[in-house]
Chains A and B, each alone.
Chain A
Amino acid sequence: EAQVTQNPRYLITVTGKKLTVTCSQNMNHEYMSWYRQDPGLGLRQIYYSMNVEVTDKGDVPEGYKVSRKEKRNFPLILESPSPNQTSLYFCASSRGSQGPQHFGDGTRLSIL
């Protein structure tokens, strides 16, 4: 089954404790992206990747890092999480940058 898988689905942690949210897709897609979803603000893009070893900042990249060492994986790294990064996070992938994106089921992060 074609899918985008995120882990963990839920995480409660404390300020400053580094964390990584993994994202994997099995569709051989070149384009991958991370979004955060907050009430009243909709979905905002954090980072995206056009292909392996190519990453670019989205609209809200501050406080986040990503890497794209393999085509299927696109982890989101919070080096020093802060409470304002409490949010619902979605990973997505698509065949190219101009195509419908397939989304994972989300990761709910709570930073205390």
Chain B
Amino acid sequence: GESVGLHLPTLSVQEGDNSIINCAYSNSASDYFIWYKQESGKGPQFIIDIRSNMDKRQGQRVTVLLNKTVKHLSLQIAATQPGDSAVYFCAENTNSGAGSYQLTFGKGTKLSVIP
């Protein structure tokens, strides 16, 4: 089956710098994508989402970019803070038939912020 993947398993960033986390997906039929943040000992926490009819979506300090041509998704975090240290997952919503959708997660990228 098709899967969602990540380019980098770990990323270290200086506090105050911008972070960019990348994700490649292979299911061209996916039309909804989500970024999650998971801190140690906790469940994944929703950050931002984007539908396939959009190229860019901004939230508070975060921006998601979607490039459907190359099937690439990225999460940009502005002015990275120590509290941003976590594992970040991208996920795609896949139509599993009969109106059902499944969420398929990438393996995750660990972001470490250096004070």
- Tell me the A residues contacting B by CB distance below 8 Å: 4, 33, 35, 40-45, 48, 50, 56, 58-59, 90, 92, 97-98, 100-106
Tell me the complex Cα distance, A82–B67, Å: 42
Total of A-B residue pairs, C-beta within 8 Å? 56
Residue B42, interface by CB 8 Å: yes
A42, B46: Cβ atoms closer than 8 Å: no
Tell me the complex Cα distance, A28–B95, Å: 23
Interface pairs (10), CB distance under 8 Å = A40-B107, A42-B107, A43-B91, A45-B102, A56-B96, A56-B100, A90-B44, A92-B44, A101-B103, A106-B42
Tell me the complex Cα distance, A6–B41, Å: 14
B contact face: mostly helix, strand, loop, or mixed? strand
B96, A43: Cβ atoms closer than 8 Å: no
Tell me the complex Cα distance, A105–B39, Å: 10
A95 to chain B, nearest CB (A): 12
Contacts of A102 in B (CB 8 A): 46
B43, A103: Cβ atoms closer than 8 Å: yes
Tell me the complex Cα distance, A1–B105, Å: 27
B44, A98: Cβ atoms closer than 8 Å: no
Give a binary string over B81-104; 1 marks a CB under 8 Å from any A CB, 0 the rest: 000000001010100100111111
A97, B46: Cβ atoms closer than 8 Å: no
B34, A100: Cβ atoms closer than 8 Å: yes
Name the one of A48, A103, A105 contacting B102, with C-beta atoms under 8 angstroms.
Answer: A48
Tell me the complex Cα distance, A35–B108, Å: 15
Tell me the complex Cα distance, A103–B103, Å: 13
- Beta-carbon nearest neighbor of A104 in chain B: B43
A105, B93: Cβ atoms closer than 8 Å: no
Residue B18, interface by CB 8 Å: no
Contacts of A101 in B (CB 8 A): 34, 46, 103
